[in-house]
Structure 1
Amino acid sequence: MKKIALVLFSSMLLTAGACSNQSAGTDSKPAEDSEASKKPMEMKIHLHYNNGLVIFNDDWKSFKKAAEYTNVNLKGTAPKTSTDSQEAFNLMIASGEIPDLVHGTKADLTKYGKEGAFMPLNDLIEEHAPNIKKYLEDMDGLEEFATASDGNLYFVPFLADGQAQQGWFLRQDWMEKLGLKTPNTTEELYEVLKAFKEKDPNGNGKQDEIPYFSRLPESLGDLTILWGARHDLYLDGDKIQYGPNEENYGKALEGLAKWYGEKLIDPEIFTRGAKARDILLGDNTGGISHDWFGSTASYNSLLKDQIEGFKWETFAPPENTEGERVEPTVRNPFGDNAGVAIGHSTKDPVRVIKYLDFFYSEEGRRLMNYGVEGETYDLVDGKPVFKEEILNTPDVPTTLRGEGSQIIFSYHQDFEYEKQWLNPIALKGIEEYTANKYFAEPLPPFSFTEEEEKKVTEIAADLKTYRDETMQKWVMGAEKVDYKKFQEQLEKLGVKEYIELHQKAYERAK
């Protein structure tokens, strides 16, 4: 009954909001006008992600500037002390007090949208959001990505930009000291890791080097590509495949278990967490990693005065055991799977969608990517150029997030912002990976029926849990690798149906 009441209430509000706007000529604004409201007004927002690293700040300058354009001032409702973003979202939903705007994942926003917590946006966008509408019409795959299984859009997504995401890095100064050549194959990478472990490249007389390390929890899954395997769903021509269900995945886990047993992989790779780069590079013990280009290359500047001769440089993906050179990570415009929804009880949904539409305009996009003109950037020949004081900060993205820009909200990111602060080593790596087309083809957006979505979600959770737990046990040596048993269990968990459902969705999208 609660669910039905919410849906009915949502529909009544949506109809009332649209009618009141159409009947009152003073509220209607031309498409090019950025005002969402004739008079200044306040809206509430729940925005809390990365377990409290990003929580909406009422004083963010970018949103204060947006208020000058739109006449709408945002006030955050997410708890400032919470360090669990999912819990904060769940508590907000459970309270029934849904603010005007809610940031969340696609999965959460569509799930609770179908239950009535958030408004369907199709008609609102069609009638009152020309910028969002244009994106939905012009951007391949966007409408399929954002549409729920019931045919409604419940959120306006954040869209990433660019292609390069992660790449390989190694201690070039260690390579030169040991007289080593850049590894060109998986076998050569193994030999370099062994040399880093055994030949004391940091020169302190101890065997304390950590040849391979990562701060990213998915890192070992990405390394399966070295044996021609994939860690998840992938596109093989016109076929959707599930990498762990293929023989090469067993070979990859055997290889990784061997490397871990020989201490070529960080013994704490499953537990060290986000500070791994800071700790191991700062201690002059980390040798090779696979990570984001921009932030990882920045350690050349951060550590140049701390470690004499420090060189931390990119190299091409090693040719795997199948003779392929593949970078499994690629920036998908929909890859963050997040956006902003409109709460079911908002008093004027028309003004709310107009507010969100501003961030898909030229001014709104520039504001969210570069900050406030005159403070963080200047327009030079019509293009935004960051001020020197921004470019000279140790971490430009973090600096911008402190102003309210470059957060995951509801707008289209601009990769040109990143090019301005990337150091030459990162740019060189990005250009090499892009020019040589190392990137694996990204998965297309999938649109499922309601019944399919329920089944896919259920199977995916079981597969992921089993895959990750098994990988950790096998790599750490707690159990011997038994791929036949692993594959039998995947079948029991429904892997074939999981692949078939994705294939059907892919065929429909085509």
Structure 2
Amino acid sequence: AENALTIFKEQDANGNGRKDEVGIFVRGNIQAALNNLTGIFGARPYKTFYVENDQVAFATLDPNFKEAVKLSADWYKKGLIDKEVFTRGWGARDAVLPTNMGGMTLDWFGSTASYNSLATTQIPGFEFYPIEPLQIKDGVKTVAMGRNTTPEIGWGISASAKNPEQAIKFMDWWFSEEGRRTWNFGIEGKHYTLKNNKPIFTDLVLNNPDGKGPLKVLQEVGAQVSGPGVQQDAEYEFQYSNDIAKQGFEMYMRNDNTTMPLPILKYSPKDVKKLEKIMALVNQTTEEYMQKWILGVSDVDTDWDTYINRIQQNGINEAVELVQKGYDHYNSIK
């Protein structure tokens, strides 16, 4: 992978006579960029807890996290990672793919594969295909991104609500078959039709006359928006994904390319407040160090012990204990 990116970057892959190619790029705010960039090298998202053999652990304490940061820093220094990796924001794909400069990223298959339409509209021969996760050492692959079917988001009724009975009926409706279908697929007859009791998108979604992407069409009417803790249906994304995206789906569902996320856990109000306070400090510390390491301001080997001491002072060990308590409770009642 390093050799391929070096050739891409140094030998004018887009053939315009300039060394303007961007090797690895990622989109999002700083937090998303940190996660996606190190995720390419096998690190779990830096805010996450995970379980091995029923024991809770924290992402940055995994030795593979340190290795992923070191590789990120090394490749950034070599110019293989976008120099604007922390400043391009959510529009990174739109900046470097239509301009034929981007080489590699970590992102969702459904939306990212759609950029291959550039081959027929702007860039003859454009190809952007999914690959197997990089393996930084034997047995260590990228941890694939994934979503829980139900977001970790809640909603409630205020004490000043004039009609709490109607409010709770409204909430309940989203968890009905019709409500879940509406949130995932939009308005029946306009955005989808039912065939054999299965929602099928209309051309308004799949071939929008105004050129809008499927997700944008759905979000404009209130479907597929972050908010209520409703259940997502992966079929909505699969339907509008092209064959290239579907290749990616299939690739990452085999060969141990994916791992199960920690289930949504329940805590007491006291434990929630304590966990939130600890993790706010831990995440702030981690983001501070990750940016310095990747940008080459300081060295991960030199700073590592100091970093570990700081997050221990922030309370990471107590946080692990709280999550373990929540996980044990989850196992006792499931």
Distance in 1, Cα, partners of 2:279 & 2:207 = 43
Q: TM-score, normalised by structure 2?
A: 0.89
**Structure 2 CA distance for partners of 1:202 and 1:337, relative to 1, 3 Å:** same
**Structure 2 CA distance for partners of 1:483 and 1:352, relative to 1, 3 Å:** same
Contact kept in structure 2, 1:401 and 1:407, CA below 8 Å: yes
Distance in 2, Cα, partners of 1:448 & 1:229 = 26
**What's the CA shift for 1:253?**
1.9
Name the aligned partner's letter for residue 498 of structure 1: A
Q: Which has the higher strand share?
A: 1
Residues 25-44 of structure 1 aligned to structure 2 (within 5 Å): none
1:403 corresponds to which residue?
A: 221
Residues 480-491 of structure 1 aligned to structure 2 (within 5 Å): 480-481=299-300, 482-491=303-312
Distance in 2, Cα, partners of 1:275 & 1:228 = 24
2:33 corresponds to which residue?
A: 219
Contact kept in structure 2, 1:235 and 1:441, CA below 8 Å: no
**What's the CA shift for 1:264?**
0.7
1:296 corresponds to which residue?
A: 112
**Structure 2 CA distance for partners of 1:384 and 1:212, relative to 1, 3 Å:** same
The answer to whether structure 1 residue 479 and structure 2 residue 302 are counterparts is no
Distance in 2, Cα, partners of 1:192 & 1:312 = 14
Q: Deviations over 1:425-453 (max 9, x none)?
A: 11111122113341122012222223322
Contact kept in structure 1, 2:41 and 2:141, CA below 8 Å: no
Distance in 2, Cα, partners of 1:372 & 1:222 = 34
Identity %: 39
**What's the CA shift for 1:369?**
2.2
1:304 partner SS:
helix
Contact kept in structure 2, 1:390 and 1:396, CA below 8 Å: yes
**Structure 2 CA distance for partners of 1:449 and 1:358, relative to 1, 3 Å:** closer
Distance in 2, Cα, partners of 1:434 & 1:244 = 25
Contact kept in structure 2, 1:216 and 1:291, CA below 8 Å: no
Distance in 1, Cα, partners of 2:100 & 2:176 = 46
The answer to whether structure 1 residue 284 and structure 2 residue 100 are counterparts is yes
2:13 corresponds to which residue?
A: 201
**Structure 2 CA distance for partners of 1:415 and 1:243, relative to 1, 3 Å:** closer
Contact kept in structure 1, 2:42 and 2:134, CA below 8 Å: no
2:121 partner SS:
coil
2:261 corresponds to which residue?
A: 442
The answer to whether structure 1 residue 388 and structure 2 residue 203 are counterparts is yes
**What's the CA shift for 1:225?**
4.8
Name the aligned partner's letter for residue 426 of structure 1: A
Residues 181-330 of structure 1 aligned to structure 2 (within 5 Å): 189-217=1-29, 218-225=32-39, 228-230=42-44, 231=46, 232-302=48-118, 304-330=120-146
Structure 1, gaps ≥5 residues long: 1-188
Residues 93-242 of structure 1 aligned to structure 2 (within 5 Å): 189-217=1-29, 218-225=32-39, 228-230=42-44, 231=46, 232-242=48-58
Contact kept in structure 2, 1:222 and 1:328, CA below 8 Å: no
358, 374, 395: which one pairs with 2:189? 374
Structure showing greater Rg: 1
**Structure 2 CA distance for partners of 1:251 and 1:362, relative to 1, 3 Å:** closer
Contact kept in structure 2, 1:229 and 1:249, CA below 8 Å: yes
Residues 39-118 of structure 1 aligned to structure 2 (within 5 Å): none
Q: Deviations over 1:395-442 (max 9, x none)?
A: 101111222222234332222222221111111111221133411220
Contact kept in structure 2, 1:300 and 1:310, CA below 8 Å: yes
Name the aligned partner's letter for residue 221 of structure 1: N
Contact kept in structure 2, 1:369 and 1:414, CA below 8 Å: yes
Distance in 1, Cα, partners of 2:103 & 2:135 = 19
Contact kept in structure 2, 1:200 and 1:209, CA below 8 Å: yes
Distance in 2, Cα, partners of 1:285 & 1:243 = 32
Name the aligned partner's letter for residue 167 of structure 2: V
Name the aligned partner's letter for residue 251 of structure 2: E
Contact kept in structure 2, 1:297 and 1:425, CA below 8 Å: yes
2:243 corresponds to which residue?
A: 424
Structure 2, gaps ≥5 residues long: none
Distance in 1, Cα, partners of 2:141 & 2:64 = 15
1:320 partner SS:
strand
Q: Deviations over 1:185-239 (max 9, x none)?
A: xxxx222221111111111121111100011342333443565543232222211
Distance in 1, Cα, partners of 2:142 & 2:78 = 25
Name the aligned partner's letter for residue 219 of structure 2: R
Q: Deviations over 1:165-203 (max 9, x none)?
A: xxxxxxxxxxxxxxxxxxxxxxxx222221111111111
**What's the CA shift for 1:244?**
1.4
Contact kept in structure 1, 2:12 and 2:21, CA below 8 Å: yes
325, 328, 333: which one pairs with 1:504? 325
Distance in 1, Cα, partners of 2:170 & 2:293 = 51
1:40 corresponds to which residue?
A: none
**Structure 2 CA distance for partners of 1:245 and 1:279, relative to 1, 3 Å:** same
1:216 partner SS:
coil
1:167 corresponds to which residue?
A: none
**What's the CA shift for 1:272?**
0.9
Q: Deviations over 1:95-143 (max 9, x none)?
A: xxxxxxxxxxxxxxxxxxxxxxxxxxxxxxxxxxxxxxxxxxxxxxxxx
Contact kept in structure 2, 1:202 and 1:284, CA below 8 Å: yes
Distance in 1, Cα, partners of 2:43 & 2:221 = 41
Name the aligned partner's letter for residue 60 of structure 2: P
**What's the CA shift for 1:260?**
0.6
Q: TM-score, normalised by structure 1?
A: 0.60
Name the aligned partner's letter for residue 289 of structure 2: T
Distance in 1, Cα, partners of 2:138 & 2:316 = 24
Distance in 1, Cα, partners of 2:84 & 2:74 = 16
**Structure 2 CA distance for partners of 1:415 and 1:227, relative to 1, 3 Å:** closer
For the aligned residues, what is the CA RMSD?
Answer: 1.9
Q: Which moved more, 1:357-366 or 1:470-479?
A: 357-366
Name the aligned partner's letter for residue 467 of structure 1: T
